[in-house]
Structure 1
Amino acid sequence: MDSDLMPSRPIVGSSLFERTIEAVAPAWALRRSYARMGLEHARGYDAAKMGRRTAGWQANGGTANAQLSQGLARIRNRSRDIIENNEYAKRAVAVFASNVVGYGITITPDDEIERAAWKAWSESQQCDASGDDCLGGLLRLGARERFSAGEILFRRRWRRLTDGLAVPMQIQLLEPDYLDENRTGPVGNGGNICILGKEYDALGECVAYWLFPEHPGEIAQSRLRSFESQRVPAKDVIHYFAKDRPSAVRGVSELAVSLMRYRDTADWNDAEQVRKKMEACVMAIISSSGPDKQLGLAGEKGVEKMRPGMIARIGTSDAVTFNNPMPSSGGGEFMRHQLHALAVGAGITYAQLTGDMSQANFSSNRMGLIEFRQMVEQEQWLNLVPKVLQPIRTWWREAALLGGVKLGEVTKDKYAMPRKYQVDPLKDTMTYKEAIRAGARTLSDVLREDGTDLETFIAERKHELAALKEAGIVTDTDAAVSELGLSGADVLSHPADNT
């Protein structure tokens, strides 16, 4: 034993057992002492204490994948059910997709030939394996599924050169149901391992996806295909999801945290409507001792029917008691509280979820939009661009070269997100103008916020000014008129190349 580890005096408060350990194995006693001090420190946090308040608090210490494996498909299916049957959930999905993708994201390559070829491919249905959508439509569907189901797959589909496509490649959107989550465990003899349908090598890199040939819930299955998941190389699949924990390999619905509240709120609303209908139906109660008297309107097979505001006359000697329903108080405030919670869970504002602007003024609405737009930009620049758009651009360049498109060197693309509509256009425009003049912002930066790019703006502006001048029209938006003070005749007399 090392004499340096021997404590100089017995540990305070130690039992006979611990003093015996200290005499026989001082190093072990010292480690136990350190562990005990750490435990006492941890118990100093209220959340770490064990007692009456935390008696029913069962926390799972497993990885994100261990938790997802128990209910990933169930959460996904329940989220879809809520979206299909709840107005607010459907609205939350629409708000997310319309702000993240909107009418599309503009990608502008530097090379002019590549720019024209990319625009022709991305703005046509040739990019979609189903032939229904352009790239913007695919991204919108992907954003909706990413929000509602938690994830979406983009699969590259190669086409023959004889298929008549300028770029022999299309993109197929696959719902996460295609990913075989039961594929979990070692794969082959190479040391790879599968986690919820994704195959990883020894270095922890995803190398393949195990996909079903058809959707497991499709109403018509092909008899020619075996319904077993097949290995697809990772280079042909883009998995669009957001990581909430470093260990997560799959995505979960953004509505998962609020699913029970959506359901309970809908049940409460239905119960309240039924109560109101019953209050309206029971207008008066007629008491009679006659054996042949009945309440309401006789329906089929003696079933009594009632309608709102109905009073049935049964006899002249019967006693009548009018119903005086007492409205429940606080129902509106309770519903607003629930909707506020649903909006927070979805990451959007209360006004966006409900369309109710009565709870916000101009300033508070703008502050809420600023916070929301920061979250949207995080989704765009940390998830959508690096994980989806850049890989799609790589796929497209590879296919375009095979198709014979003359491309230059690989350069950095410019991305223009959907236009952010201004709450106060005049003030916002003046703010942009002063920022550009002061050198704090560039025109390109402002144009990207407006959903376009500098090259497109210059081409359209040049064409517009030339067309106006040729037609003999001068507007005060021309800087020569508004800033230099020139007359319309002076502007029109200038050579066209100086426009």
Structure 2
Amino acid sequence: MSKRRKNRQPQTKVAVVGAASQLPQAHYDAAGTGRRMRGWMPSSSGPNRSIAGQPTLRNRARDAARNDWAGRAIPARWSANLIGTGIIARPKTSDPATKERLTNLWNEWLSVCDADGVLDGYGLQNMVAANWIAAGEVFVRLRYRRPEDGLPVPLQLQILESEMVPMHDGFAANGNKIMQGIEFNAIGQRVAYWMYRTHPGEANATGELVRVLAKDVLHIYEPLRPGQLRGVSELAPILAKLRGVGDFDDAVLERQKLANLFTGFVERQPVAVEPSIDPISGRKVERDNADVPMVAMEPGTFQELLPGESVKFSEPPDAGANYGDFTRTQYLGVSAGTGLPYEILTGDLREISDRSLRVIINEFRRMCQQRQWLILIPQFCQKVRNAWAESAVISGALPGKLLNEAKRVTWIPQGWPYIHPTQDVAAQKTAVEAGLTSRTRIINERGDDPEEIDRERLADQERELAAGLRLPAPDPNAPPNPVDQAKARLIEAETRLLKAQEDIARNAAEDQRHIAAAEAEFKKAEARRAQEEQQLAQARRQLVDAEVAVIQAKAEGEKAEQARAQIAAELCQAQTERESNARIEVLQQQAQTAELESQARQEALAAAERHAEEIRSLIWQTEQARLTTAQLEVEAARIGLDELKELSA
């Protein structure tokens, strides 16, 4: 007994003082555990465990796309705005011949790139975007073909739905870990995807899985959390609400259908024997399955009831006064949950102004651009372009030295249409003139090719000049811009030069005539420049006159000020010497007159100085504009003359 006491270890007792007051308290209301928040205890699942219900979400999203108008509209609206008619690839090379070669080969391949042979490349872009939004993800398999298949580049794209990769976890035969159908190596890199050979939802599904290398698979999805392996449908946050709103609409519709059934009841005292002839309509009584007589009514009937009879009509409920506001509120939540503006989802523009619509569309366009440049282009478009370039080089369709040039492209999404064309074009024109942007950038934003636009404009101008067509007259209300006019004349001179080159090639005898015409243009330009210089000299003389007027105004102002001071002195002296009141009044009037005269001279001086400054500023602007104009005109004429002389030589 004593031995046990010796081996017993001393116990440490901890006293808890004010334990209740020392417990950590939640500083956020949403983190509270009181009665209000007790039922809200979400799990702390990781990014992949939290999407374990992805197949169910995906199936319900597809069901909504099949049977609910909003479920169908959401992926359709997103794909229409993300893709439109296609995201175009434009090579960055500066060599026109290389650019044309790459563009032609790319466009030729796009027409046959679908492994199913149904869509072209831009149609596949639309399918990828729509399936990504609806199902949360989509797979694209790169299918390399044989040279004898007759393709411009031996490569095709196969679009695969999310169901083709099961949410399977395990280990591969080589020891790699498989998570949600994706195989990872020891350092966490994706090395393969495990896919069904046939769609698991088809009648001929076998359930056989095949291993496809990750380098041959494009996985398009938007990871919402770091480490998330699979995508979740865009409709996931609103599927429950969407189904509830749909059920509510169906119930209201059925209720309104029943409300349109006009039903009445004839009440009378019970009789021993039911009559065979209806006393109201005078027709034979028709009975339903329960042996209840049925009475019909005709339009415009005034029916007299028998004694003791009365008619009572049913009062079915209507749709409710708040039906429209309620459904609108629900679809506002649906549209917000999917990132679509309510007006774009529903087409309801009744309660929105033009200014508000601009704000909404600009915000939505920013979201579209975010998904274009962060998801679709890097995950799909650029990877397809890289695979195409490598296949083209391997197959010999392109030389190896063009591999990098073929991969380097600028992606141009379809341009946004103008909301207010007149205002939008005017704003872009002002931005270009102010140096805030360039024509190239604006044309790219429109989804067009600046070089192609320039070629088309030049071809139109040449054709109009050759046909003798008049160009559109300038706006008579617009102020003349000498620099723009000179640039226009320079363009006309270059156009005439091109036409002259063609004429010289056909008939060398006309060279001298064109040279003489160019010399005449050059002399006219020199004469116009001399005339501009004379006008500038005249303006300078006007400036000298204005400055002389300023000097004279200053002198007259000084004289008026001296006269005012002298009269003021005389008035002060008269008041001091106590001269007669008449004399003092005369001096006071003279002093007031002198004061007014001095003020008038000061105002005249200020006006003269402003006039001189305006003339000085005008001369500076005129000098710059006229000199620039004259230089451009002379340069245009010199270009035409020198080129014609070189061609003649």
- In structure 2, the CA distance between the partners of 1:358 and 1:17, relative to structure 1 (3 Å rule), is farther
Larger Rg: 2
Tell me what 1:471 maps to: 467
Taking the TM superposition and a 5 Å limit, the aligned residue runs for 1:58-69 are: 58-69=41-52
Q: Secondary structure at the match of 2:387?
A: helix
| Partner amino acid, structure 1, of 2:497 | P
After superposition, give the CA deviation of every residue in 1:320-373 in whole Å (9 maximum; x if it has no partner): 113445542211110110111111011111110111101211111111111111
* 1:478 Cα offset (Å): 9.2
**Aligned counterpart in structure 2 of residue 361 of structure 1, from 347, 353, 358:** 353
1:400 corresponds to: 392
**Residue in 2 aligned with 1:106?**
88
Name whichever structure is richer in helix by fraction.
Answer: 2
1:337 maps to 329
Identity of aligned residues (%): 30
- Cα distance in 2 for partners of 1:303, 1:376 equals 64
Q: Give SS of 1:211's match.
A: strand
1:80-119 CA-to-partner distances (Å, cap 9, x unmatched) read 1111111122122211000000011110123322222112
1:180–1:229: 8 Å Cα contact kept in structure 2? no
Structure 1 residue aligned with 2:228: 248
Residue matched to 2:485: 484
- What is the CA–CA distance in structure 1 between the aligned matches of 2:293 and 2:196, rounded to whole Å? 54
TM-superposition CA deviations, 1:177-217 (whole Å, max 9, x none): 10121x21333344x21111111222222111111111111
Distance 1:114 1:323, change over 3 A: same
Structure 1 counterpart of 2:41, one-letter code: Q
Contact 1:150/1:253 (8 A) holds in 2 = yes
- Given the superposition, is the C-alpha separation of residues 189 and 129 from structure 1 closer, same or farther in structure 2, using an over 3 Å criterion? closer
How far apart in 1 are the matches of 2:363 and 2:293? 56
Q: Which has the higher contact order (CA 8 A, sep 6+)?
A: 1
Q: Secondary structure at the match of 1:410?
A: helix
Separation in 1, partners of 2:468, 2:203: 63
Residue aligning to 1:87: 69
Mark the runs of 5 or more structure 1 residues left unpaired by the alignment: 1-15, 21-32
Map of 1:259 onto structure 2 = 239
Partner residue of 2:125 out of 118, 139, 142: 139
Q: What letter corresponds to residue 188 of structure 1 in structure 2?
A: A
Give the letter aligned to residue 251 of structure 2: A
Letter of the 2:198 counterpart:
E
Name the CA shift for 1:160/1:306 in 2 (closer, same or farther; >3 Å).
farther
In structure 2, the partner of 1:3 is none
| Number of the residue aligned with 2:313 | 322
Aligned with residue 78 of structure 2, among 70, 87, 96? 96
Partners of 1:172 and 1:261 lie apart in 2 by 34
Deviation at 1:46, TM superposition (A): 1.6
What displacement does 1:438 show?
Answer: 2.0
Give the corresponding residue for 1:5. Answer: none
Output the CA distance in 2 between the equivalents of 1:107 and 1:363. Answer: 34
Change (3 A) 1:401 1:246: same
Question: Within the alignment, does 1:211 sit opposite 2:195 as a pair?
Answer: yes
Mapping of residues 114-129 of structure 1, within 5 Å: 114-122=102-110, 124=111, 126-129=112-115
Cα drift, residue 238 of structure 1: 0.3
Q: Which amino acid aligns with 2:422?
A: L
Which SS does the other structure have where 1:245 is aligned? coil
Q: Equivalents in 2 of 1:277, 1:249: separation in Å?
A: 48
Query: Which one is further off, 263-272 or 316-325?
Result: 316-325
Rounded to whole Å, the distance in 2 between the matches of 1:258 and 1:387 is: 26
Instruction: Indicate how the Cα distance of structure 1 residues 154 and 321 shifts in structure 2: closer, same or farther if over 3 A, else same.
Output: same
Superposed CA RMSD in Å reads 3.5
Change (3 A) 1:300 1:168: farther
Residue-by-residue CA offset, 1:131-189 (whole Å, 9 max, x unaligned): 111110001011000010011111000111111111111000001110121x2133334
Q: Is contact 2:79-2:126 (8 Å) kept?
A: yes
Structure 1 residue 452 displacement after superposition: 1.6
Q: Partners in 1 of 2:39 and 2:367 — Cα distance?
A: 34
Paired with 1:309 and 1:332, the residues of 2 have a C-alpha distance of 34
SS of the residue corresponding to residue 233 of structure 2 reads coil
Q: Distance in 1 between matches of 2:298 and 2:34?
A: 56
Report the alpha carbon displacement of residue 457 of structure 1 after superposing the two structures with TM.
Answer: 2.4
**Equivalent residue pairs, number:** 456
CA shift at 1:387, angstroms?
Answer: 0.8
TM-score scaled by length of structure 1: 0.82
1:204-258 CA-to-partner distances (Å, cap 9, x unmatched) read: 221111111111112345xxxx632111000000000001111211111101100
Aligned partners of 1:460, 1:300: CA distance in 2, in Å?
80
| SS of alignment partner, residue 180 of structure 1 | coil
